Structure 1
Amino acid sequence: MLLLTALALSLWFWRRNLKDASLWMVLTYAGVGLIAWTDFSSVSIAANAFPKILKDFIMLGMVGFVQSMAVKKQISVWSAVILIFAMFAAVHYLEELIEADEQVAPQELAVTEGPESFLVELREGASDEQLLEFAEDNGLTIDRAFFPEAASETLLDNYYVVTDETGSRGMENGLAVLSTVNYLEPNETILVEPFIVDDATNVPASNKSLSINDPFTSEQWVMEVLHMDAYYRLLHDLRPERTAKVVILDTGVDGKHEDLTDNYFSIESKYDNDPHGHGTHCAGIAAGVTNNGVGIASLAGTGEQPFVEVSSVKVLNGGGMGTQKTIIAGIIEAVDEGADVISLSLGGRSTQSSQRAYSAAVKYAQRNNAIVVAAAGNSNRDAKDFAPANAEGIITVAAIDQLLLRAPFSNRTENVQRAIAAPGVGIYSTIPGNQYKAYSGTSMACPFVAGLLGVMKSLRPDLDYQQAYALLHATGRESTETRITGRIVQPAAAVEALLR
């Protein structure tokens, strides 16, 4: 509309002394009115429309100024045309930069004014007496951080969380000099929030090209680019050795959702609800019930005997906020409940170059034959600076769009150990209350990989994280941006390679 109005304004300048001048004047004013109305109706808060309207009116003013120069022969007509197109191109480019910058929020480290908190690892065999005395002398609260069942396999049972509720800051130096303290790091706070892309509520027509009958597959563009029909046909003729357990660590999961309930098992009833929606969306991508004539299709496969069942450990509150301590405790709990795959669609910018506690939790999972997968992060930065995406031994998932390019928000993964890419833009999946919605984020890419790994573990239960990643990488699809995303996961090819 802005371009058409600019064209009408230009013609008005050039034909202002002719009989049809009034026509172009009317069209220009009509365009201005439509621009103002469009800008106003495109925002949810009226005050947010003012910057958009101001920007569009400044653009029209610049077009008028350039055209007046051309009419007065101060510049040539071609110069005016080039200048106008250059202005539109520059504004479009700046808008894209601003939009990309605004997309930093969903998995960025939350900056809060809350109490200072640290994860403190005591030396093996050391008593906690000195730490308790330090906490009492300085008015700090202290608690054991983690309670792994297989405590002999890990040092995580040596961790404490120490918090200064007064908010006075500065306890780090005092903790660091204690002779019984082996290591400490901030108990970092993270906040997750998906990008809402589509609020469609109409039931779309079934995708007739698929061998499954889920009605919302026409909303799932991933079906084609991931060759999902070949995947479903392959799984149809296979039988799992056992049903694999995929555990979503998030805001909870609506275990009663119509398209999840038959694939859902409960670890604790308090985890079976989701006031936020983020965890339920991730669960649907990984393990929504497929070929049941309801909702969406997922990576869980089809057939009478399920390949995958999904569950939840709630590590984030209803606002999508959690801490490093709650996430690591969730990993431990999932492992102790027999998880085969743990999916972490969460994380944030880390202040630590090395993620000792996260890495210890991932190692605990691996020793118990579980694979841990994490989202790369949504800040258009290097994933090596984001946790837990940068933890040792983790499989890190970047997001791609419909063109198989890195999503503008997705972190780059060239500097992490095990990078893979999956769709993460406009991903249609389950949300609480038997509803469905499209979200975008590396949060959405992560469960594509987690769900596939669950199926692979169901076919070969002894598959470890190194073998699993080797298969994903070897069968992944190259793109023009593979270097910064990893290869794009290809479910059918990965399963075929597993069976060979």
Structure 2
Amino acid sequence: MLLLTALVLSVWFWRRNAREAPVWMMLTYLGVGVMAWEDFASVSTAASAFPKILKDFIMLGMVGFVQSMAVKKQISVWMAVVLIFGMFAAVHYLDELINTDEEVETFTSATDDDWSYLVELHEGATAQQLEDFARMNHYRVERAFFPEAASETYLDNYYTLSGNADRPLDAEVLNALTTVLYSEPNETIQVEPFIVGDRDLPAGKQSLSINDPFTGEQWAMEVLQMDDYYRLLHQLRPRKQAKVVILDTGVDGDHEDLTDNYFSIESKYDNDPHGHGTHCAGIAAGVTNNGIGIGSLAGGGDSPFVEISSVKVLSAGGMGTQKTIIAGIIEATDEGADVISLSLGGRSTQSSQRAYSAAIQYAHRNGAVVVAAAGNSNRDAKDYAPANADGMITVAAIDQLLLRAPFSNRTDKIEMAIAAPGVGIYSTVPGNGYKSYSGTSMACPFVAGLIGVMKSIDPALNHRDAYRIIHETGRESSETRITGRIVQPAATLARIAR
């Protein structure tokens, strides 16, 4: 539409004194309106549309300027044509470059206008029947997952089938295909952090045995007895540097309090337009005892126990799908992750556990422990995915009174539940900044970071032993039944080190 509007604008310049000039003027205005609407409709949030609209208006302005120079014979017509096409080529190249660098992958979000299903085929079946079904109904089909160790999982049998609302899917017809074993909606996943002030929170402890200047903002340090933890950690040496991978909106790998602990899986994951992933990364493994920012579970010194990384599975607006999360678990596992942290989720049916559980089982078989936030809806976590998946360690949030945070989902029906601070948690945000967020999203990386340290001391530790230790060393509260015990890093470290 931009190119067509630019063409009409050019004709208007050259025919401005002709009788039909008003027609070209009206067509130009109509093109501008349609162009702006398409820009607005192509993004998930209104704020995301403004940069696109501004870029297109600047392009039209440049086209108008070049055409005015040609009309005044300051440059030749051919020179104007070359300049205009050169500008469009340059903008197209830059768009491709930006999309290549920043996008996680193309995925179909669940909206009012489209739908998507995860489809599992029988082992050994080809996709031909599913592809024929998709072609006949004008649907789109593609393979969903590409695990490196395909022989260890059935995830390589999954495909996505998607289409538009004007061509709805009859799930019964899909499930009747002889090659289809199972199907479920490719559900939408999102992050929901709550930004809060600090006026109702207790001050942190300034006399910790670490020199990070913002520990006074970290009230959770005292609740978690982090000074005891740091003193004990100082006496230990890691057997390996464990890899903790944050699956989220990305991580600002250049942040001053993360960069020394950060390793890159792919450069496109090393930025965070949303901020959520960077905040979680700081809680799990911000560089500690470096005279900068905050303290974390990672410890400090010349031999850090963990390193942190990122796989982008959510958009800049914090939205993703079940497919992108599972693909992220697979990618993190294939990159050698020891711990995978998922501060995300959404309402779910029990059936959606199947694909998530297969992904978690794949991670377990390859030595990774997977940790997820319980969810922020004050409901039952068994109705939220991936918190309810088999083999998941699920984290509820507590407040400064050691009570379940008002927003935190309950975890009494979750097999492996634990609790951690999740209200007013001060941590890193992009651009060398720091903020307080609240949510089970913030509680989750406390546990993920601790399990990372546990894996650095005992690399053979599996998910069940890791949970057993943090549960047995956890602190009871008046609401343990609905949150799980409160994680206690010092007691856990003492148990794993003996």
Query: TM class, shorter-chain normalised?
Result: 0.7 to 0.9
- Superposed displacement of residue 111, structure 1: 7.1
Q: Which residue of 2 aligns with 1:126?
A: 125
Counterparts of 1:241 and 1:167, CA distance in 2: 57
Given the alignment of the two structures, is residue 191 of structure 1 paired with residue 190 of structure 2, yes or no? yes
Q: Which residue of 1 aligns with 2:155?
A: 156
Q: Which of 400, 403, 407 is the matching residue for 2:401?
A: 403
- The code of the aligned residue for 1:486 comes to G
Report Cα offsets for 1:26-72 as digits up to 9, x if no partner: xxxxxxxxxxxxxxxxxxxxxxxxxxxxxxxxxxxxxxxxxxxxxxx
Given the alignment of the two structures, is residue 238 of structure 1 paired with residue 236 of structure 2, yes or no? yes
- Superposed displacement of residue 192, structure 1: 1.1
Counterparts of 2:114 and 2:149, CA distance in 1: 31
Counterparts of 2:313 and 2:167, CA distance in 1: 27
Equivalenced residues, count = 388
Percent identity over the alignment? 74
Counterparts of 1:146 and 1:165, CA distance in 2: 22
State whether residues 204 and 218 of structure 2, in contact with CA within 8 Å, keep that contact through their aligned partners in structure 1.
no
**Secondary structure in structure 2 of the residue aligned to 1:285:** helix
State whether residues 367 and 460 of structure 2, in contact with CA within 8 Å, keep that contact through their aligned partners in structure 1.
yes
Counterparts of 1:167 and 1:330, CA distance in 2: 31
Report Cα offsets for 1:74-111 as digits up to 9, x if no partner: xxxxxxxxxxxxxxxxxxxxxxxxxxxxxxxxxxxx97
Counterparts of 1:363 and 1:294, CA distance in 2: 38
State whether residues 185 and 352 of structure 1, in contact with CA within 8 Å, keep that contact through their aligned partners in structure 2.
no
Q: Which residue of 2 aligns with 1:141?
A: 140
Aligned CA distance change for structure 1 residues 283 and 160 (closer, same or farther; 3 Å): same
Given the alignment of the two structures, is residue 458 of structure 1 paired with residue 459 of structure 2, yes or no? no
Aligned CA distance change for structure 1 residues 114 and 372 (closer, same or farther; 3 Å): farther
**Secondary structure in structure 2 of the residue aligned to 1:461:** coil
Aligned CA distance change for structure 1 residues 261 and 189 (closer, same or farther; 3 Å): same
- The code of the aligned residue for 1:119 comes to L
- The code of the aligned residue for 2:120 comes to E
Aligned CA distance change for structure 1 residues 481 and 206 (closer, same or farther; 3 Å): closer
**Secondary structure in structure 2 of the residue aligned to 1:198:** coil
Q: Which residue of 2 aligns with 1:377?
A: 375
Given the alignment of the two structures, is residue 448 of structure 1 paired with residue 428 of structure 2, yes or no? no
- Superposed displacement of residue 207, structure 1: 4.4
- The code of the aligned residue for 2:142 comes to D
Q: Which residue of 1 aligns with 2:353?
A: 355
Q: Which residue of 2 aligns with 1:72?
A: none
- Superposed displacement of residue 495, structure 1: 1.0
**Secondary structure in structure 2 of the residue aligned to 1:142:** strand
Report Cα offsets for 1:361-384 as digits up to 9, x if no partner: 000000001000000000000000
Gaps in structure 2 of 5+ consecutive residues: 1-108
Report Cα offsets for 1:12-32 as digits up to 9, x if no partner: xxxxxxxxxxxxxxxxxxxxx
Counterparts of 1:383 and 1:398, CA distance in 2: 9
State whether residues 204 and 217 of structure 2, in contact with CA within 8 Å, keep that contact through their aligned partners in structure 1.
no
Counterparts of 2:197 and 2:302, CA distance in 1: 33
Counterparts of 1:229 and 1:420, CA distance in 2: 21
- Superposed displacement of residue 166, structure 1: 4.5
Q: Which residue of 2 aligns with 1:258?
A: 256
Given the alignment of the two structures, is residue 310 of structure 1 paired with residue 308 of structure 2, yes or no? yes
Q: Which residue of 1 aligns with 2:436?
A: 438
State whether residues 431 and 437 of structure 1, in contact with CA within 8 Å, keep that contact through their aligned partners in structure 2.
yes
Q: Which of 457, 463, 484 is the matching residue for 1:486?
A: 484
Deviates more, 1:299-308 or 1:283-292: 299-308
**Secondary structure in structure 1 of the residue aligned to 2:138:** coil
Deviates more, 1:230-239 or 1:207-216: 207-216
Aligned CA distance change for structure 1 residues 332 and 111 (closer, same or farther; 3 Å): closer
Counterparts of 1:111 and 1:170, CA distance in 2: 14
TM-score (norm 1): 0.76
Counterparts of 1:247 and 1:491, CA distance in 2: 19
- The code of the aligned residue for 2:115 comes to E
State whether residues 198 and 424 of structure 2, in contact with CA within 8 Å, keep that contact through their aligned partners in structure 1.
no
Deviates more, 1:299-308 or 1:456-465: 299-308
Aligned CA distance change for structure 1 residues 217 and 314 (closer, same or farther; 3 Å): same
- The code of the aligned residue for 1:272 comes to D
Counterparts of 1:198 and 1:364, CA distance in 2: 40
Counterparts of 1:137 and 1:351, CA distance in 2: 29
Q: Which residue of 1 aligns with 2:290?
A: 292
Q: Which residue of 1 aligns with 2:15?
A: none
- Superposed displacement of residue 193, structure 1: 2.5
- Superposed displacement of residue 116, structure 1: 1.2
Superposed CA RMSD: 1.6
- Superposed displacement of residue 353, structure 1: 4.1
Q: Which residue of 2 aligns with 1:73?
A: none
- Superposed displacement of residue 153, structure 1: 0.2
**Secondary structure in structure 1 of the residue aligned to 2:278:** helix
**Secondary structure in structure 2 of the residue aligned to 1:137:** helix
Q: Which residue of 2 aligns with 1:182?
A: 181
Matched ranges for 1:61-140 at <5 A: 112-140=111-139
Q: Which residue of 2 aligns with 1:474?
A: 472
State whether residues 206 and 214 of structure 1, in contact with CA within 8 Å, keep that contact through their aligned partners in structure 2.
no
Given the alignment of the two structures, is residue 387 of structure 1 paired with residue 385 of structure 2, yes or no? yes
- Superposed displacement of residue 354, structure 1: 4.9
Q: Which residue of 2 aligns with 1:60?
A: none
Aligned CA distance change for structure 1 residues 371 and 206 (closer, same or farther; 3 Å): closer
Counterparts of 1:351 and 1:223, CA distance in 2: 37
State whether residues 120 and 157 of structure 2, in contact with CA within 8 Å, keep that contact through their aligned partners in structure 1.
yes
Q: Which residue of 1 aligns with 2:299?
A: 301
- The code of the aligned residue for 2:169 comes to G
Gaps in structure 1 of 5+ consecutive residues: 1-109
- Superposed displacement of residue 167, structure 1: 4.6
Aligned CA distance change for structure 1 residues 413 and 337 (closer, same or farther; 3 Å): same
Counterparts of 1:151 and 1:187, CA distance in 2: 21
Counterparts of 1:354 and 1:194, CA distance in 2: 24
**Secondary structure in structure 2 of the residue aligned to 1:299:** coil
Q: Which residue of 2 aligns with 1:168?
A: 167
Counterparts of 1:112 and 1:155, CA distance in 2: 28
